[in-house]
Structures are given as structure tokens and as C-alpha cells.
Structure 1
């Protein structure tokens, strides 16, 4: 459904979590040390593993405005001993399509896509957890709305993006308030169309998060009625890789190296929020103050960590919810997707 049809369609019938996580010790990765480590750990059976051989590798990495690839140069992590080809896609289904086409080796994703990947047979493995934010995500209403709490939206219009985190948040909020999707005039739209529908007054509420939510709130008069998804969603994201890339010793070495560089980049971001905000503002053409606020109000530092039992259980819980909500056709066991040992 397009935005142009939206007016006609509509005519028919917790406090913020404390930032208590401690930063991991700073790690410095020299080109020589990384090459030596890659050779020792992954290339032992491959003959002469040299820098020249690794320099022949091209790693295809998904990149978007907020991903670490945009900040690696500032963090001193961009001098890789292999080539990096960034694949700029909006995310979601297009990332899974790129994996299916063999056009992607490495990507960051929420806890939503893995179940869809398993359902469709899309090849990917999960190699690490990115600990993300649960604040400044939820539901905004337009300026002048009489809604003061989520249950007030019964019978009213709300926009969301199907098969994404925002869709999942909406279903979890409905469940928590003993409501169903049919109790609202819920309109599923692509993210840009959902934002446009909200800003033009075609819908009263929107499920949103991150910098776009702060922009809507600060510059366009939106008002939060749910501003944190704590208790509904873990805030975890997944670092994924293509199985064929992991099976190739040289690419596996490059993935291991890039993952550690991304880990170091997020640590740099945590130590340098002002510089991160300035770079993000340049990339997005949005006010740096909004990115500063996003960093300041985050529920915890954004760090990459090895997959732990709690993160694996959280992902399975989300997949089970997706099956219960009939967003995927069956319950899928996601444990086989995890491939530890790369970080």
C-alpha cells in the first residue's frame, strides 16, 4: 500500500534503564598482530598464509547510517589488511535478499530477521551479540492528540512497519494491554511512508524509535506515550555472516578481524559521544544535538560481546513470539544459527 492511498483507507471501517554496564577494556589491533592471529587460528591448513593472500580478499559488509562502518576511520580501525566493499541498503528484507543472492558476507540485524531467514532458507550464521538500546523506542502521538496512554489508542489510527522491530513492539504492547491489532486502525507501511503519514496527520500515532523518533518529537511536535520498550524487547542485535564466507579460511579470517574492529569502534563511540554525534549529523543531515541526546539517554553502552546463553535465549523467545503472532508459519529452533568462537 502506498502513501497516496492512505487517506482513503483510513476512511474505512517504564523508567529508563540505568547505564550500569561497564565498558570492556580497550583493545588495540595492529595490522601485523591481526594477520599473525588470523594465520594461527584459521589458516593453519592452508599453506602459506601471507598478507598478500589476505589482501586479495574482498569482504562485503552491510552498511547503513548508524552502523559501525561509518565510524571506523575516526576510531582508527579502517586500515584493514583486506578489501571491504560496503553494501548500502535500508535493511530488513533487503539484507536477507542480499544474503540469499550471495552478495553479502557480514551484516548487523535485529532479533527479528533470523526467524524469517530460517523460514525462507536464507543462508546466514550469527556470530556475536550487539547490546543495543531500549530507550527512545515506542509510540509517538501527534501534537494535540488526547491520548495519554497506549490503551487510549483503541479505535484510533497507528502506523507501523511490517515484519520489523516496530511491528513486534506493537504486538507486544497490544498483548500487554489485552488488546488486539483489530482494536486499532493499524496501518502497515514502509518506514519512510509511515513517517510521512504521521507528519502529514494521516495517522494519530506511530511506532518508531531511534533518531527518527527524536526528530519527530523535537522538530515536528510528536509526543511520547510509550518511550521505552524495556520489558518488551531485550535491545539485543545480532552480528551475522554468510556460511560460505565462514567456510572459506581467508574470508573467515577477514570476518574475525572485521568483527573485532567493529567491537573496538563501538568502544570508541562510547568514549567519544560528541565526535560520534558530529559524524552522525554529517551523515544524516540531522542536528548533532539529537544524536548527543540519543547517546546520553541510552539504556546501556552499545557493545559487541560473544553470544551468551541469555542472548541466545532472548533470540529464541522473539522467534517463538513471531510464531505465536503468526508472522512466521511455525516455531523455529534458532540454536543452529549460532556460530561462536569468532570473538
Structure 2
């Protein structure tokens, strides 16, 4: 039998080994919080401790910061993740491999419904959202749709859990129609899936955005392809994070600094269109300068409000529409936002935050 001293040491050694194993197996991107967790109603820390790191999935902002010369001015380490969109971002959040994601309106809602608590920490819109829509309704060659009422009886591309899917539901509501008045064809709204589905007559109508609008009309307009405006706001852009990340005071402070840089980058892009077209659309995305100019014109001027009340009200409308369609419980849209960050972006543009 081992002596009493050995019997005391062995349990302690086992506990130490277990702690080491747990720490070594921590999910990528997790940071051990120093000190107590930051309460959700506590003021945001303004000083970022040395050694803090954020993993950020926001490729366009990375390029904008490179072009504007701000990429190396953070007081913490930024690790850039080359991913975007709700599904990829949520997957990375669940793996603990991401701290900040850049998405549209739906991912934060969908994440909450699937048991992934998140918070929106920054919001950006367009100053003329009706004149500068993100999407238009693509109409297949040979299909006659002149007004939203003409959607009745049509096959419409639908992507649940994505911005385009929510837009389709809103468009039907505006037209006084329901999903029973049309046929949904479930397709992912990635790449050129929707333009190809329209061209092949797989669907009659699909929301298409960005350069796909220009290319779709150029390629299939001669065959009778058209687009129509939907006349709704479809412009939300957000930064969001896992709720647990905000419990780390160091990361909460770093996120505040990142939101400020994100806002300045958004404004820089608008004020330097030639540099943005060449540096991002041409060199980074491989588009033509003409396509880049089209996208710049389409985007218009950004709006980063210091008051989120209007955004929250619009988000609540989206939540209600999606809840009715999916059978998920209604959420209070205000709970999706961390209001401590509400003025950070707007203040940064004024030069009041760093």
C-alpha cells in the first residue's frame, strides 16, 4: 500500500491532469475569461487587455480595412475567417471557432430558434432602401409577371432560414397572397442557383441580388427574362456574436473596438468608390470594373443609425412572419440586440470612438 503522502498526491495529480486535458480540448476560438463574467447589463469595458484575440468572419470589411490603412491599428489580435452567411457563421459559432459574424437579418433569428443564443452588436442599412434594393424579383423567360398580384399561381424559389426566403414571405403578404396561392420550390440561394433555376424554367420567380441581377438580364433578357421591384426594405446588415462571448470582458471590449472600425470602413467604402471597385470587386472578387461600378451604384449610401428602435420594429415584423410560417415561437426582437453597442458605430463615424 502506498504511503499516506502518495495517496494524497495522486488525487491531486489526477485532478491536475484532468484540468489540463479539459483546457487542451477546449474548442477553437474559446478564450478563458479572466475574472468574473461580464453581466449583460454592465457597462462595456473600454480597455482591451493585452493578449486578447477575436476571430472575425467579415471578408469585405477585412479588405476595406486593408485599403483604408486601418487593418493594423487594432489594440488586439484579429484572426480573419474566410466565411460569410448565416449557415456558415452559425456552424462556426457552434464549434467555438468564431467570435464575430457579418450577416443579414435572418441568421440571428434562426440561431435563437435552434438553441444558439446570439446578440446583434452592429446594424447597417441603406439611406434609400427602396431606390437601392438588395434584391429584385427575377422573372423567368416567357413568364408574365408585371405586378406583385401576378405572383398568384407561380412557382417561386424559396430558401428557408435565409434573407431571400423571408423576403418572399413579405412580398406575398404585401400582395395579399399566402403560400397556398403559390408553389414554393425550395432551393438554396447561393451563387447563381436562382438565375439558373429561372433560365431553366425550374421556377417562375426568384429573388436575385447583386451582380446576378445585371448578369441575368444581360444573358437571358433576349429570351424574355425580366425583373420587377418588390418595393420593400431588404437592406439590413448586422454584426452578431454568441451571447457567451459577451460575458468575456476582454472580448466585449474588443468587439466594441471592432464595431467602430467596421463603421468607419463602411463609410470609407462609400467615399472611395474607385479604390473599392479596384481593390475589392476586381482584385479580390475577380469581377469586372463594370460589374463593380454596378454594385457600387446599387448599394447607395450606407446608414448606420445611433437609434435602433426602427430597426428593432422592422425586425419584429420579420420575426412574426417567420414564426407564423415555420411554427416557431414568437420572439421579442429587442432581445436579439445588445443595446450597449447601439451608438458605437454612429459615434465612430463622427470621430467619437476608436
Are 2:85 and 1:83 aligned? no
The superposition leaves residues 63-111 of structure 1 with CA deviations (integer Å, 9 ceiling, x where unpaired) of 34xx322221001220123222222234122212222222221112222
Tell me by how many angstroms 1:323 deviates.
1.4
Q: How does 1:191-340 map to 2 (within 5 A)?
A: 191-192=189-190, 193-221=193-221, 223-230=225-232, 233=233, 235-278=235-278, 279-298=280-299, 300-324=300-324, 326-340=325-339
Q: 2:45 aligned to 39, 42, 48, which one? A: 42
**Which one has more relative contact order, counting CA pairs under 8 Å at least 6 apart?**
1
Q: How does 1:27-66 map to 2 (within 5 A)?
A: 42=45, 53-54=49-50, 56-64=51-59
**Unpaired runs of at least 5, structure 1:** 1-39
Distance in 1 between residues matched to 2:185 and 2:284, nearest whole Å: 30
- 2:163 corresponds to which residue? 165
Cα-Cα RMSD = 2.6
| Number of matched pairs | 290
Alpha carbons 1:138, 1:229 under 8 Å: kept: no
Distance in 2 between residues matched to 1:328 and 1:91, nearest whole Å: 23
Tell me by how many angstroms 1:224 deviates.
4.3
SS of structure 2 residue aligned to 1:96: helix
Distance in 2 between residues matched to 1:228 and 1:302, nearest whole Å: 20
Alpha carbons 1:136, 1:228 under 8 Å: kept: no
Alpha carbons 2:167, 2:234 under 8 Å: kept: no
- 1:122 corresponds to which residue? 116
Q: 1:335 to 1:266 in 2, by over 3 A?
A: same
Alpha carbons 2:85, 2:102 under 8 Å: kept: no
The superposition leaves residues 165-201 of structure 1 with CA deviations (integer Å, 9 ceiling, x where unpaired) of 2111211222222222233332111123334322444
Alpha carbons 2:57, 2:98 under 8 Å: kept: yes
**Unpaired runs of at least 5, structure 2:** 1-42, 345-354
Higher alpha-carbon deviation: 96-105 or 151-160: 151-160
- 2:351 corresponds to which residue? none
Distance in 2 between residues matched to 1:339 and 1:304, nearest whole Å: 15
Alpha carbons 1:126, 1:238 under 8 Å: kept: yes
Q: 1:105 aligned to 89, 96, 99, which one? A: 99
TM-score by length of 2: 0.73
Alpha carbons 1:61, 1:84 under 8 Å: kept: yes
- 2:9 corresponds to which residue? none
Q: How does 1:132-143 map to 2 (within 5 A)?
A: 132=126, 133-134=129-130, 135-143=133-141
